Structure 1
Amino acid sequence: MNILLKRIIDRVVRIGHLKITGPNGGTSTFGDGSGPLVHLHIKTAHAERAITLHPTLAIGEAFMEEELDFLEGDVLSFLKLVYVNIGPMGATDAWTRAVEGLRVAFRRLQQVNTAARSKRNVQRHYDLSGEIYKLFLDEDMQYSCAYFERPDMTLEEAQLAKKRHIAAKLALKPGQSVLDIGSGWGGLGLYIAKNFEADVLGVTLSTEQHAVSTERVRAEGLEGHVHFEIRDYRSLSERFDRIVSVGMFEHVGVNHYRTFFDKCATLLKPDGVMLLHSIGRFGPPSATNAFIRKHIFPGGYIPALSEVLPAIEKSGLMVGDIEILRLHYADTLKHWRERFLANRDKAKAIYDERFCRMWEFYLSGSEAAFRWQDMMVFQIQLTRRNDTVPVTRGYMDKCEKALAMREMAHREIDAPAQKPKRGRRKVSDRE
């Protein structure tokens, strides 16, 4: 291992047990020896140089290209070891702070998300084969943070709870018009239409997601209530009773926050309610992880609340409620990662080994960031008047409970009739 890389790792890793075998076969050990061993093998001099110069990008790329492997441990255990050492807000040495400062300074150049560029960015990720997403998402294809009311919830149960939670915050009424900005595979829009007899317009920039969601509308016979379009939200001019946006704001880019909220303010009726669900960060403004920006979400950015709230204030919208979901996304990503790895051979048959390694690093890295770094999810309820929703949060709880009871009743109706147990006499109608 080259001297510079060894010095960097020595300075960072003080806790834990890390062993690295370099391309020349030599092995170095770092940390205090506590905890499980994580053993990396850097196979090539090229990877070693790249990791020395730009570790946040090069470690993931070396893993993708099979220039780095784990002899003991895995991506998640390695990242846990690193993050436990640097703390939730990142490393504090002068060199790292200087590099981070430059990344933050230039981040706006990476987020010039015009309508055309936004569409290209979406196609890079969301227009992958739908079969890939079916390998790890829940049955409703929810690709955003679930809501774990109980730690023993299945992924399907937690995603359903998320939809209830969002619907309750919207204070929906039958017959209202609803706009879903970034409508994904259509699950939330269909849920709102079915449970509240609402008319839903969902907009997306993904042709793959639009095709799936449109077919789901037809299959469920909701053509008169739900419609999905391939359309940029900035081109809309209609007004809506309710607006919801889940997992889309991360793609807006810090340059366009004022545009986003100004547009939402014009699209929302005077007595309307909006719910924004987005990944955020506990710490101050930062820059997108280099690996994620290059290989997973080009143009994406995770905001601090200090960047979001000023844009809301200037738009004329009022914040009615803010909730921070802390470890919910870490648990969601754990389910996704485990399901993806369990179906890894199927994913490899659709794409290739490089793709599988890229997505293993992405899912593991994201889970690690939510579990041991400063990532979280926020839900912000917005209105145009301060008397639009009740003054206490009881109406949310009441709505969630009513929806849960309705869902339970539907499951009981849809459940197949149980067959009589063997050896018992069937009771006749006359008895």
Structure 2
Amino acid sequence: MFLLSQILKRIIKQGTLTVFDADGREHFYKGTEDGPTVTLRLHSKKTALKLALYPKLYLGEAYMDGDITLDGGDIYDLLDLFTRNLGWGSRHPLATFGDTLYRIYWFFRQFNPRGRAQRNVAHHYDLGDDFYALFLDENRQYSCAYFKTPEDSLEQAQLQKMAHIAAKLALKPGLKVLDIGCGWGGMARFLAENADVEATGVTLSKNQHGYAREKAQQMGLASKVDYRLVDYRDVTDKFDRIVSVGMFEHVGVPHYGEFFRKVKSILTDDGVALLHTIGTADRPSPTNAWIDKYIFPGGYIPPLSQVMPEIEKAGLYVTDVEILRVHYADTLRAWRQRFLARLDEVTALYDERFCRMWDFYLCASEVSFRNSGLVVFQIQLSKRLLDLPLTRGYITEIEENELNPARIAAE
């Protein structure tokens, strides 16, 4: 407990943390600024040592395994306390050795050939349709929503997200649109139904592919939407518009150039592409070890400084960049509220350890978007400078008229 105590004394500058060690002794850490008040109990001596040596991995594991519990609060409060104190752009003070070993391991994790890409996708997205239906919106948008007001429901915010993206694509009836990493197909169906385009979605998830095709059939959109179980690198058709939402995080830095060269090669000369991806305001650093092991193997969140050079090398114009701040934190909060409201059903599908794992994931992700520099990038791309309006007014006009989310929801 000594080593962990020394670390906590250095970290806690906001809020108050009380820790009861495995022998029942109380340790008190109070910052000089206001913040959350949390009580943590450690249920074994080895837990204290592991947390001191490499908390980026062992904090999540300890929570999953029941080796730590919270009194008078929950895991969100603890993670909020830690991330507020660490902020972004910081490094854990005594995790140098663990970080060094992990960086060596991470160097090889960045390579994402087709076989590994499919296994990584299956790890997370093939958990089962019943599970994701418990907490996602009715269109199964598993990415950042777009909240115009704090009162927006999750369903409304997700419709607003799809309309916002569709407006940036400047669609016209009859255009061919590709959705790279289409998930359960909601974006492609939205575009086909509301913008009168021919949409193609590609995914590596068998579960998502099967659901998307069945849903399109039920909605009478099978003739306008084509879903393919294929790697985007194997697509050869030409498209007028390309969109990718929440997929780029799985590409891997060594493959960024390949991704943008592919986009350019299958985009028509007057085409437009829109990339929606999680990004960071921090300097490049490996994915959190716990997230990589349990949630998104091979996933990575880049700063703009790693993305923009590869776009330039591919010969594409960046015609617009928008940074969505806190929108994903609010999305994750809504997901967690729904997840906890149906916790008994999740437990019946899996077990309590799985529930704690997902609770930790949702909480850790939310506080990262609130306190640790995570944002969402929307990057608009084209091959030519003059194929889009020169001011942003067209985006608002399309959202308010042609693709008004309130009208779409009412229909």
TM-score by length of 1: 0.92
Q: Distance in 2 between matches of 1:91 and 1:128?
A: 33
Q: CA deviation at 1:8?
A: 1.1
Q: CA deviation at 1:109?
A: 1.2
Q: Distance in 2 between matches of 1:103 and 1:256?
A: 21
Is the CA contact 2:36–2:81 (under 8 Å) kept in the aligned structure 1?
no
Q: Distance in 1 between matches of 2:188 and 2:171?
A: 13
1:124 maps to 123
1:221 maps to 220
Is the CA contact 1:108–1:254 (under 8 Å) kept in the aligned structure 2?
no
1:110 maps to 109
Aligned length: 410
AA aligned opposite 1:44:
S
Is the CA contact 1:149–1:158 (under 8 Å) kept in the aligned structure 2?
yes
2:344 maps to 345
Is the CA contact 2:21–2:42 (under 8 Å) kept in the aligned structure 1?
yes
Unaligned runs of 5+ in 1: 415-431
Percent identical residues: 47
Q: Deviations over 1:201-254 (max 9, x none)?
A: 100000111111000110011121101011000011111000000000000011
2:61 maps to 61
Asked whether 1:141 is paired with 2:132, we answer no
Q: Deviations over 1:164-204 (max 9, x none)?
A: 00000001110000000000111100000011211111000
Asked whether 1:71 is paired with 2:71, we answer yes
| Alpha-carbon spacing, 1:268–1:285, altered in 2? closer, same or farther (3 Å) | same
Q: Distance in 1 between matches of 2:91 and 2:325?
A: 21
Is the CA contact 2:53–2:95 (under 8 Å) kept in the aligned structure 1?
no
| Alpha-carbon spacing, 1:317–1:105, altered in 2? closer, same or farther (3 Å) | farther
2:50 maps to 50
| Alpha-carbon spacing, 1:236–1:118, altered in 2? closer, same or farther (3 Å) | same
Query: How do residues 350-429 of structure 1 correspond to structure 2 at under 5 angstroms?
Result: 350-405=349-404, 408-409=406-407, 412=410
Q: Deviations over 1:65-89 (max 9, x none)?
A: 1111111221111111112212222
Query: How do residues 312-327 of structure 1 correspond to structure 2 at under 5 angstroms?
Result: 312-327=311-326
Is the CA contact 2:54–2:98 (under 8 Å) kept in the aligned structure 1?
no
Q: Distance in 1 between matches of 2:222 and 2:91?
A: 52
Q: Distance in 2 between matches of 1:208 and 1:219?
A: 17
Q: Deviations over 1:372-419 (max 9, x none)?
A: 1110000000000001101111111111011354x544555x5xxxxx
Q: Distance in 1 between matches of 2:36 and 2:156?
A: 33
Q: Distance in 2 between matches of 1:264 and 1:176?
A: 16
| Alpha-carbon spacing, 1:35–1:408, altered in 2? closer, same or farther (3 Å) | closer
Q: Distance in 2 between matches of 1:102 and 1:345?
A: 39
Q: CA deviation at 1:91?
A: 3.7
Q: Distance in 1 between matches of 2:361 and 2:60?
A: 8
Query: How do residues 223-302 of structure 1 correspond to structure 2 at under 5 angstroms?
Result: 223-302=222-301
Q: Distance in 1 between matches of 2:389 and 2:319?
A: 10
Is the CA contact 1:274–1:381 (under 8 Å) kept in the aligned structure 2?
yes
1:429 maps to none
Compute the RMSD of aligned alpha carbons: 1.6
AA aligned opposite 1:136:
F
Query: How do residues 19-58 of structure 1 correspond to structure 2 at under 5 angstroms?
Result: 19-32=18-31, 34-58=34-58
AA aligned opposite 1:372:
N
2:90 maps to 90
Q: Distance in 1 between matches of 2:204 and 2:379?
A: 23
Is the CA contact 1:108–1:255 (under 8 Å) kept in the aligned structure 2?
no
Q: Distance in 1 between matches of 2:402 and 2:69?
A: 47
Is the CA contact 2:167–2:394 (under 8 Å) kept in the aligned structure 1?
yes
Moved more, 335-344 or 84-93: 84-93
Unaligned runs of 5+ in 2: none
AA aligned opposite 2:245:
V
| Alpha-carbon spacing, 1:344–1:48, altered in 2? closer, same or farther (3 Å) | same
Asked whether 1:328 is paired with 2:327, we answer yes
Secondary structure at the residue paired with 1:16? strand
Is the CA contact 1:164–1:403 (under 8 Å) kept in the aligned structure 2?
no
Asked whether 1:184 is paired with 2:159, we answer no
AA aligned opposite 2:3:
L
Q: Distance in 1 between matches of 2:314 and 2:107?
A: 21
Q: Distance in 2 between matches of 1:43 and 1:361?
A: 18
Larger radius of gyration: 1
Q: CA deviation at 1:48?
A: 2.1
Q: Distance in 2 between matches of 1:36 and 1:201?
A: 47
TM-score by length of 2: 0.96
AA aligned opposite 2:134:
L
